[in-house]
Structure 1
Amino acid sequence: MPINRTSRRNRTFVSAVALFAVATGHAVAADGVLPGDTIVVTGAMTPAPASELGYSLSVLTEQDIVQRQNPVVSDLLRSVPSVSVSRSGGPGQLTQIRMRGAEGNHTLVLIDGVEANELNFNGEFDYASLLAVGVERIEVLRGAQSALYGSDALGGVINIITKGGKPGFQAEGSVEGGSFGQRQVTALMSGGVERFYGAVSAGYFGTDGINLSRMGTEKDGSRVFTVSGKATALLSDSFRLDGTARLVDSHSETDRQDFDFPSTPTNGLIIDSSDEQDNRQFYGRLGGELSLFEGTWIHKAAVLYADTEREYINDSSDLTGNSGSRLKFEYQNTVNFQTPSFLDADHHVTVAFEREEQDFQNYGAVPDALENQKRSDSQNSFIGEYRVGFAEQVFLSAGVRHDDNELFADATTYRLAASWRIPGSGTRLHGSHGTAITNPGFFELFGYFPDFFVGNPGLSPERSSSFDVGVEQKFWGDRITVDVTYFDANLHDEIVTVFDSNTFLTSVENLVGKSRRKGLELMLSANLTDELSIGGSYTYTSSRQPAGGREVRRPKHLGNINVNYAFASGRGNVNLDLSYNGKQLDNEFVDTTPEFMVTLDDYLLVTLAASYRLTEAVEIYGRVENMIDQDYEEVFSYRSPGIGAFAGLRVKLGE
């Protein structure tokens, strides 16, 4: 676990939580859905049109994913407002995401309804091994969401939905290669009959990489293999079963931070090493849905399982590692009804129960050492949500959750939201308010590395209260949409890392006082013609600790512009993406300098992607990444790739 000499917890990955997501990718019919409105499964306990939700939410569609050609999901997320990416080098290397100035483990990640945050990585999620192959859509929900999703949804939720099958037969595959020895192979097959259908996808991504260190010449490569499947069985007109499974196996070569004592000229910097890391993840879900009285009364139940394992090998061939598993049961009961004679209202009432069991194991290079420990936790949760819409104009929602946890005191969180579509104006007002928590991770509680890191079993969960308010305006026959949102969050009991310069040990503690996060999100979507579209966003974020110090790896300014042009009657496509990341602070441990922090320069990443369909079945494509060859670091002392060119061939078969 990295230490943070600035008394700020330097956690390493992003988190995620699930709650009864349908997550099948099917279109959902709903009363009052506007033309072009998007049905989302993340913003509420039941699927709902995005315009009826008061929360700030973004959706990346399958078309967006194909047009931009990014092989890893983290690069796709750079275009989403308030999302900041910190990658320790090139693709396949350690990757964090922070949202609205919150920490990495304050965002929950769902993959087909399964929590993907890693117990063995302090509740964060490593985006390094999350490939875009087979992904149908990505929903990003910003703001406090613990009322529905529990611990870790303090800054928001990222929901990854993979492709589901449909009757008939479809298949596609691609091969790609390019700079840095990068290669990718993908395959997808789906099909079935009217009541039984499914899909399976597989992908391999590998790269020789670059030298992560500022010194030396050793390249640090990586490879990721992913296979996933999804199936649906309509056993009757009212009962369905669905299941998902995903297996990820990855390997990366890494460089190490020099912490040798006494000090050396490279102390505190990343130096060439022969360190390696192997990661394995498995996610599975089996659920059923019973719909009675023409959808008036719906029961859902699911069993979810996640298992992750990490192994580390250093220069001395010492093997250390950890593993974590989560078993979860969910039950949800929803009643939908209308009262046309009373305010022309449409009601959705949901109550739910969750049971979750967590197991964690850490092991070191020396048998019977103190770091060889097993820990566990369990929790029962009770959730309720009420959504109501009046005359297809005003929509209100309220949610509450009570968590009965084995290790921590009981916690109750809530959220409120409102959306008002003003008739005849193209204007929509929206806002939300909620509370959230993030429980300490097993590393923070129990340590496991007595010569380096000391845990604190007395830690309290982090608590947050936040709100956002915004206005969405449509112009030119709904071809142009502009949204402006202000957000504000107060974080209490922030967990920070404390470094003792005398003993060279780190420990963790709760900060006294209030950490403040606030900012502004601007979003633009413009379909100028049937062939030309422009999307853009800008985010200003201020993220400070109680004493006023800025948080690390939270740029004040983030921006993105995406331009897409289709030509030759849709056979060809060109996509230009510009992502700006402003200056930001990061930790530095260089003994020869008096600072504890360093300012990382701002950078602009430009990607140009193009494709052309030679026949109905065959398509060629290519892209240039980092077109202006920016020299930048997203994490202090870790180099990032320069300009790179890639090309591939895609084949599609079937209906």
Structure 2
Amino acid sequence: MQFNKSLVTLSVGTVFSCFGHSAESISTPSIETISVVSSRVEQPLSEMATSVTVLTEADLDALGQISLADTLRSVTSVGVSNSGGLGKVTTVRIRGEEGFRTTVLVDGVDLADPSAPQITPVFDDLLTSQVQRVEILRGPQGLLYGADAGGVIRITSSELRPGTSGEISVQMGAENTQQYGAKVGYANETSHVFLSAGKTNSDGFNAQKADESGEEDGYENTTLHLKAETKLTDSLSVNLVLRDVDSQVDYDGCSDNVTFATTHVCASEAEQETQRLAFVYKQEQYRQEVSYSNTDVRRDSFSNNLLGFTNEGKIKKFGYLGEMDFDNHRIVGGFEKKEESIPTEKRDQHSLFAEYQYQYDKRWTTTAGIRHDDNDTFGTNTSYRLGSAYLIESGLPGTLKLKATYGTGFRAPSLFEQAYNDGDFAFGAAKDLQLTEETSEGFDIGAEWFLDNTFVGITYFNQKIEDEIQFDPVSFQGYLQTEGESESKGVEVEWHHTPSSQVKLWGNYTYNDSETQTGEQRLRRPEHLANVGINLFNQSGEFSVNANAHWEKDAIDIGGEPLDDFTTINLSAQYQLSDTVKLNARIDNVFNREYEQVKGFNTASRSAFVGAEWQF
């Protein structure tokens, strides 16, 4: 392995010469850690049968990435494929399932892109600058979010301090990347309002190996995010979320509008507007929420500087969520009406869902949930989820949790998929093929051991998709419906150890055996994924240094071509210069490893960044 020894030595030496300060400590998962992602209500990990990972603000700072997708690479069972750098097409797969089966919410706002072929969440434009907390639910257990949810990522934007507060941040580094951010807010006992704005520019690098010109494929992103809440009475409150993302990205490998020849002068401009309004009525044992949200996306694609085509889509949701909590019994349920539309098609889907949770003797929690969806194009479907978690606290140190879940789901073909097959570009077997819904099922079983300063978890998972819809990746006929079942199964291992307030060690490993209906390995799913990291802090709480390694092995691309096995190592450091100023620095891909995540697309070389935050 070749690398610049002097650069690495200088970086590490500089970090440790300053060591004597420390930043906010990163905690080890606790049995009492609260999460909302599993059942849309607050629950401690002790009561959850599902597999959940929580990233705190300290975790995000330690990893230091600009892109949230790059941050998620460190999470158990999360695989990421990126096609050429910041802002390019990015797919996040949980337990080996397709990225469009992942549901992503920011402050309750669904970030699905209705203009995309499978209404994929918009990871390309999702940055970490406005994020404070991330919760990841793994597997097809998102019953309360939608029957097609194969994993859920719940994101919380920055929280507020009492009174008036704000922050200004800047980060600069490789590929002439510049990121500027500003946050301002006000909070008192009855109300809060928070506004954040972020601007990111990067010259990027040459995205595709086939482009021999060496030109850079740049990226721009402007994100505005507003959240506000006020109490109308002691029990009733109203909250509002507004989010607007404008982005422009250059990329390679599109078709000329006239000759249809491949060109590498390609660009896409996108605007995503989302709004959510909710009324929440809360008493000691009851909580009810009525909400309305709207997502509107327009994406213009250019070839050789001429407009080629435009994709548009809208999703409107009206929903009700209720929670009743009586001693050891809890019921969560509601309904939702969703309207999806593209310029040529529109459809509605009505959903009812409920989950019952029972806890016996504070040690044994069981859950049973059911969901009924009525799609006006594809009819009805009923799905369900069962789970159980049992705590063992005697006869061994700490607490051992045994857990198991089983869930089912379905996904109706997207409007785009069917419209493509009915359009002029489809041919062969896909031409006029009328697609039907996919169905899925999955289960996992595992154990988690919580000690004072240590966490260890191991889980076996197995999930199947029947009648899967796929775009023909070889001859590009259109969308085909495969017969039989695709499968993704494997083992997850996760551990955290904090031997002192100054040191934390962590790691995870995932073995993922994924197969198509014909028994072949599924594309871009490494059989082996692993992460290992160390976080070092000092006694005074002002400085930290962090290192983490990411490893992938045994993945293939189209045509069975093997992708690179690779390991990358990242370093980062944070220094709290004063009560209001924090400095940060990081080096990604320290050893300058060359590899491909998607065949034919370049990845970033060694990259260094520095930044600062000023709070007021």
TM-score, normalised to structure 1, is 0.85
Q: How many residues align?
A: 579
Cα gap change, 1:182 to 1:45, in 2 (>3 Å): closer
Verify the 8 A CA contact 1:446 1:456 in the aligned structure 2: no
1:375 is displaced (CA, Å) by 0.6
1:35 is displaced (CA, Å) by 6.8
Verify the 8 A CA contact 2:446 2:460 in the aligned structure 1: yes
Cα gap change, 1:262 to 1:379, in 2 (>3 Å): closer
Cα gap change, 1:645 to 1:272, in 2 (>3 Å): farther
- CA RMSD in angstroms, aligned pairs only: 2.1
Verify the 8 A CA contact 2:389 2:404 in the aligned structure 1: yes
Residue 162 of structure 2 corresponds to residue 167 of structure 1: yes
Distance 1:350 1:619 in 2: 42
Match of 2:216 among 215, 219, 232: 219
Distance 1:319 1:568 in 2: 58
Deviates more, 1:129-138 or 1:189-198: 189-198
Residue 381 of structure 2 corresponds to residue 411 of structure 1: yes
Verify the 8 A CA contact 1:96 1:126 in the aligned structure 2: no
Distance 2:472 2:582 in 1: 54
Distance 1:420 1:166 in 2: 37
Distance 2:473 2:99 in 1: 20
Verify the 8 A CA contact 1:119 1:325 in the aligned structure 2: yes
Residue 336 of structure 2 corresponds to residue 354 of structure 1: yes
Question: Which consecutive unaligned segments of at least 5 residues does structure 1 have?
Answer: 1-33, 339-345, 362-373, 588-595
Distance 1:572 1:351 in 2: 45
1:143 is displaced (CA, Å) by 1.4
Correspondence for 1:624: 587
Percent of pairs with identical residues: 31
Q: Aligned with 1:119: secondary structure? A: coil
Match of 1:516 among 487, 495, 507: 487
Cα gap change, 1:545 to 1:262, in 2 (>3 Å): farther
Cα gap change, 1:500 to 1:38, in 2 (>3 Å): closer
Residue 512 of structure 2 corresponds to residue 541 of structure 1: yes
Distance 1:553 1:394 in 2: 39
Once the two structures are superposed, residues 225-280 of structure 1 have per-residue CA deviations (whole angstroms, 9 ceiling, x without a partner) of 111011111222211111111111110011116799999xxx9xxx7621110111
Distance 1:35 1:598 in 2: 42
Distance 2:300 2:551 in 1: 34
Distance 2:197 2:447 in 1: 41
Cα gap change, 1:456 to 1:401, in 2 (>3 Å): farther
Counterparts of 1:48-197 in structure 2, within 5 Å, are: 48-121=43-116, 122-153=118-149, 155-197=150-192
Q: Aligned with 1:332: secondary structure? A: strand
Residue 503 of structure 2 corresponds to residue 532 of structure 1: yes
Counterparts of 1:455-604 in structure 2, within 5 Å, are: 456=432, 458-475=434-451, 478-498=452-472, 506-567=477-538, 569-587=540-558, 596-604=559-567
Cα gap change, 1:616 to 1:455, in 2 (>3 Å): farther
Correspondence for 1:297: 286
Q: Aligned with 2:477: secondary structure? A: strand
Once the two structures are superposed, residues 521-580 of structure 1 have per-residue CA deviations (whole angstroms, 9 ceiling, x without a partner) of 000011121011112110000110121011101110001112111126111111112111
Distance 1:441 1:35 in 2: 40
Cα gap change, 1:171 to 1:68, in 2 (>3 Å): same
Distance 1:637 1:129 in 2: 22
Q: Aligned with 2:556: secondary structure? A: strand
Cα gap change, 1:259 to 1:102, in 2 (>3 Å): farther
Match of 1:637 among 578, 600, 614: 600
Correspondence for 1:250: 247
Deviates more, 1:492-501 or 1:402-411: 492-501
Once the two structures are superposed, residues 387-426 of structure 1 have per-residue CA deviations (whole angstroms, 9 ceiling, x without a partner) of 1111111111111100011111201100011111112342
Distance 2:294 2:300 in 1: 21
Once the two structures are superposed, residues 177-228 of structure 1 have per-residue CA deviations (whole angstroms, 9 ceiling, x without a partner) of 1111111111112222221112111111111011112222111010111110
1:583 is displaced (CA, Å) by 2.8
Q: Aligned with 2:605: secondary structure? A: coil
Once the two structures are superposed, residues 460-500 of structure 1 have per-residue CA deviations (whole angstroms, 9 ceiling, x without a partner) of 1111111000011134xx21110000001121111123378
Correspondence for 2:41: 46
Q: Aligned with 2:143: secondary structure? A: helix
Correspondence for 1:4: none
Distance 2:401 2:258 in 1: 60
Distance 1:423 1:40 in 2: 22
Correspondence for 1:285: 276
Verify the 8 A CA contact 2:236 2:282 in the aligned structure 1: yes
Match of 1:446 among 394, 401, 419: 419
Verify the 8 A CA contact 1:151 1:439 in the aligned structure 2: no
Once the two structures are superposed, residues 124-165 of structure 1 have per-residue CA deviations (whole angstroms, 9 ceiling, x without a partner) of 123110011121111110111353221430x21111111243
Cα gap change, 1:619 to 1:510, in 2 (>3 Å): same
Q: What is the identity, as a one-letter code, of the residue corresponding to 2:408?
A: T
Verify the 8 A CA contact 2:56 2:134 in the aligned structure 1: yes
TM-score, normalised to structure 2, is 0.90
Distance 1:523 1:44 in 2: 22
Cα gap change, 1:324 to 1:487, in 2 (>3 Å): same
Q: What is the identity, as a one-letter code, of the residue corresponding to 1:582?
A: K
Q: What is the identity, as a one-letter code, of the residue corresponding to 1:160?
A: I
Distance 1:135 1:499 in 2: 35
Cα gap change, 1:316 to 1:257, in 2 (>3 Å): closer
Match of 2:264 among 253, 273, 282: 273
Q: What is the identity, as a one-letter code, of the residue corresponding to 2:247?
A: S
Distance 2:225 2:485 in 1: 42
Distance 2:347 2:508 in 1: 40
Counterparts of 1:315-354 in structure 2, within 5 Å, are: 315=304, 317-338=306-327, 346-354=328-336
